[in-house]
Amino acid sequence: MTNTARSTHKAGSTAMKDSLTIGGVLLVIVIAYFAYQMSQATDQHVHNQEAFHPELSGGNMDQAMASMANLPEDHETLVMMGNQHMDQQKFAMAAELYKRALAKKEVNDVRVDFGACLNGMNLPLRAIQEFQTVLAVDPTHGIATFNVGIVYSSQQQPDSARVYFQRYLELDPHGPAAATARAQLQRLGG
């Protein structure tokens, strides 16, 4: 009887080991599958970013990296180059130039341009953060206020957009973006 009980125990123990081994193998396979899926998603995300920012794709990436190493060190030149790249809608390069300029010297107008580049790179929440950073220091900065309205409008948040366009017009009723702010308010029903 002892032998029977013992062999049943051994058989149960072996079955338990087999179940745990199979479960472990399945777990490893599932983890490997999800790791593979994540790497594919990351590769696709990078590809999508490069498609959205053609200045960073293909052979231009090497050129972009080489030019990054040779960027000037002074604030004014970095800002000037950032402005040139922004005018050419090369938002990623302009953002990098503005970021480097801001590391040397904090200037609200440069931070607003940095935020505009982030918005141009389809990073609206980051853009709003930069504009809000400026508004925390200077609540009367008209263009930062206007740009928050632009981002909210593009994100289908009309109530928030209206608040910022109205605030801009209170701050600078004849400013460079006043006509656009009025047109946006009209379009948004405000």
Instruction: Report the CATH number that the domain containing residue 148 is assigned in CATH.
Output: 1.25.40.10
Task: Tell me which of 74 and 42 has the higher pLDDT.
Answer: 74
Cα separation of 115 and 135, whole Å?
12
Q: Of 149, 150, 158, 147, give the one whose Cα is nearest residue 189.
A: 158
Cα separation of 187 and 181, whole Å?
10
Same-domain check for residues 41 and 76: no
Same-domain check for residues 7 and 101: no
Cα separation of 149 and 151, whole Å?
5
Structural domain that includes position 22: 1-52
Same-domain check for residues 152 and 115: yes
Residues in the chain: 190
Kindly report the average pLDDT of the chain as a whole number. Answer: 81
Note the pLDDT tens digit of each residue in 36-67: 666 555 444 444 444 444 444 444 555 655 56
Handedness of CA 179, 181, 183, 186 (dihedral sign): negative
Contacting residues for 147 by C-beta, under 8 A, at least 6 apart: 112, 115, 116, 119, 127, 131
What the block records as the tokens of 180 is: 């656009």
Note the pLDDT tens digit of each residue in 83-141: 999 999 999 999 999 999 999 999 999 999 999 999 999 999 999 999 999 999 999 99
**Based on the structure, what is the number of domains in the chain?**
2
Same-domain check for residues 48 and 71: no
